[in-house]
Amino acid sequence: MRRSSRRNVSLAAVLAAVVSVGAAAPASSAHPAHSPAPPPKSPVAVGYGGAVSSVDADATAAGIEVLREGGNAVDAAVATAAALGVTEPYSAGLGGGGYFVYYDARSHTVRTIDGRETAPRSADSSLFLENGKPLDFADAVTSGLSVGTPGTPATWDTALHTWGRKSLRQVLKPAERIARDGFVVDETFRSQTAGNEERFRDFPATRKLFLPGGKLPEVGSVLRNPDLARTYEEVGRKGVDELYRGELAEDVVRTVRNPPVDPASDRVVRPGDLTAKDLRSYRALRREPTKVDYRGLDVYGMAPSSSGGTTVGEALNILESTDLSRASEAQYLHRYIEASRIAFADRGRWVGDPAFEDVPTKQLLGQRFADARECLIRDDAVLTSPLAPGDPRHPGACRSTGKAAPTTYEGENTTHLTTADRWGNVVAYTLTIEQTGGSGITVPGRGFLLNNELTDFSFAPADPAVHDPNLPGPGKRPRSSISPTIVLRHGEPVLALGSPGGATIITTVLQTLTGKLDRGLPLVDAIAAPRASQRNAAATELEPALWNSPLRAKLESLGHVFKLNPEIGAATGVQRLPDGRWLAAAEKERRGGGSAMVVRPSGRP
Ligand code: GLU
């Protein structure tokens, strides 16, 4: 579907203002009204000149606009991310962090940026303990304590400086415009707001922004964020140092240290100890990607501090010895579930911030280790969780070593985008503020929410006798599950993808990859396929379509235990077709469906 993003973005705002129920001021009259609909969404698009896929049509259109104006995949990724900061403010934005994976067409190499949030320099392993006991998770989420130094602005800056063609100011323009003119509230936005309503009410700056007139925004109304438009304009003009050393940095520090809670509220909001020095010393880090060979393809991912690359990589190595293309659906799911279980057991024991932990990244990705783990899988029985980890440095024959510990809890919300350009560059970028709505705390007058990423640390070891590589520490990055992935064949891109969903990100990426590469599904169908997620727990989560299918009974007869999860992940991806066209793909249904677009549409998928 071809469309002018500029027209549609503003169009949507204008027209929705017409049907608005008064939550928003009318949009600028400079934009003519043509149609009463918000931007159309399609989960798949094919063509030339580049591609963008995200959960949101306005954001995808922002990326396409930048590609049309001569930007490359990196510029488009930052433009899309910034727009998501407006339209998906509960998942993404200046107040969060993320991981950026980039394929450079000229050098045929994959590079990455670790833009994870960091703990304050004063943090130690007791960060989330009170009187020796772990804090209640919900109390920790809505607090200054959980806010890490944002990594997203530094990620954008590093990516643009290193590989982009446009300035930050240029790529922030579409997002600035959407923030100023407004975007149309959809069902997902309203229900995410409703899920947060109680805590949002307790913070006047958050309430003003997301509960206009004190009410939940109506579907079809226009939500504007003039504060964020100003912030983007300022950051574009002054550079991201504004957020690390400028007045904006001061505002962030003040907000974290003294969360601006309504004096009338009886909510206890613990302050954080983030300082100006913490912000000043933040660095987005360039890291070597993870890489595994899977059936002749090179699969690149994100190295620790994310556990995404090592865990997806290990599971692929485990699965490689089975011909999944010939397996029945039940056999395929059985193998996929067991490989995930094993890889999560190893992730829990070995992966944390490599600046603090001696993470055996290379050995976790070794085929020898995977083979020593794969042999645990039986066709007629199910492994018991929690499964003990293996030792990747001493991959003995067919065994687990050490003590089993359950996987610690992680929140689930973020957003993933994928871009490609006319030169053949590709970006897979997952960014987050952690929970839906992050800490719930908006920086007053700045228009964005602060993350609660530090709750991705283990509050305490799941078992005190088992070393936990993910306890808080000074300046430490909490372990992530974010798994932006790029697949190459002989140095040329084949596909790229990623997903939100906390620890389920890993299983979503793994299942989508095998769905596409082994089961022969078109990318958009591999993304849409009903999901299962096993993370070294007694029960494997199933989405309704699998829960209600006869496959469940077949798998239960092997010993599998299941529980229902209404929705897992929200993936997006791009694929390079053999004829040189790009195919962009997104969700058909989840989160109300995603938005895939290409610069010059051509033919059918
Ligand atoms: N904080 C999570 C992580 O880094 C991401 C949240 C989500 O994707 O839903 O693993």
Cα distance between residue 21 and residue 131, in whole Å: 49
pLDDT digits (tens, 9 = 90+) for 332-364: 999 999 999 999 999 999 999 999 999 999 999
Spacing, Cα 41 to ligand 1 middle (Å): 25
How long is the chain? 605
Of all helices (H) and strands (E), which one includes residue 572?
Answer: strand 572-576
Ligand 1 center to 336 CA (angstroms):
21
Query: Cα–Cα distance between 163 and 344 in angstroms, integer?
Result: 33
Residue 151 CB coordination number (10 Å): 29
Q: Is 413 in the pocket of ligand 1 (CB under 6 A)?
A: yes
In tens, the pLDDT along 262-309 reads 999 999 999 999 999 999 999 999 999 999 999 999 999 999 999 999
Which residue's CA is minimally distant from atom 5 of ligand 1? Answer: 502
The confidence score (pLDDT) of residue 13 equals 37
Q: For ligand 1, is residue 38 a contact (CB within 6 Å)?
A: no
Question: Using CA atoms, how far apart are residues 323 and 222, in angstroms rounded to an integer?
Answer: 51
Is any atom of ligand 1 closer than 6 Å to the C-beta of 366? no
For residue 159, pLDDT beyond 80: yes
Residue 24 has pLDDT above 60, yes or no: no
Q: Measured in angstroms, how far is the CA atom of residue 504 from the centroid of ligand 1?
A: 9
pLDDT tens-digit map of 238-249: 999 999 999 999
Closest listed residue to residue 100, CA positions, set 308, 354, 294: 308
Phi, psi of 599 (to 5 degrees): -70, -50
Is the alpha carbon torsion for 483, 431, 575, 69 positive or negative?
A: negative
Kindly tell me if the per-residue pLDDT of 33 is higher than 80: no
Q: What is the pLDDT of residue 20?
A: 29
Q: What is the pLDDT of residues 5-17, one digit of tens each?
A: 322 333 333 333 3
Instruction: Say what the pLDDT of residue 605 is.
Output: 58
pLDDT of 26: 33
Confidence of residue 18 (pLDDT cuts 50, 70, 90): very low
pLDDT-based confidence at 1, cuts 50/70/90? very low
pLDDT of residue 403: 78
Active-site residues: which are they? 414
Report percent pLDDT > 90 for the chain.
88
Helix (H, G, I), strand (E, B) or coil at 47: strand
Residue 80 Cβ inside 6 Å of ligand 1? The answer reads no
Ligand 1 touching residue 501 (CB < 6 A): yes
DSSP β-ladder status, 540-542 and 562-564: parallel
Of 156-160, 293-297, 407-411, least confident by mean pLDDT is 407-411
CB distance 292 to 317 below 8 Å: yes
Best residue for ligand 1 mutational test, from 456, 470, 483, 497 (most atoms within 8 Å of Cβ)? 456
Q: What is the separation, in whole angstroms, between the first and last Cα of the chain? A: 11
CB 58 within 8 A of CB 83: yes
If one compares 405 and 481, the residue with the highest pLDDT of the two is 481
Ligand 1 centroid vs 554 CA: distance in angstroms?
32
CA proximity to 117, closest of 78, 164, 161, 149: 149
Cβ of 414 less than 6 Å from ligand 1: yes
For residue 220, is it left (φ>0), alpha (ψ between -120 and 50) or beta?
left
Token readout for 429 is: 């970028």
Q: Residue 541's pLDDT is what?
A: 98
Per-residue model confidence as pLDDT tens digits over 569-601: 999 999 999 999 999 999 999 999 999 999 999
Query: Structure pTM?
Result: 0.93
d(CA 93, CA 437): 11
| pLDDT score, position 462 | 82
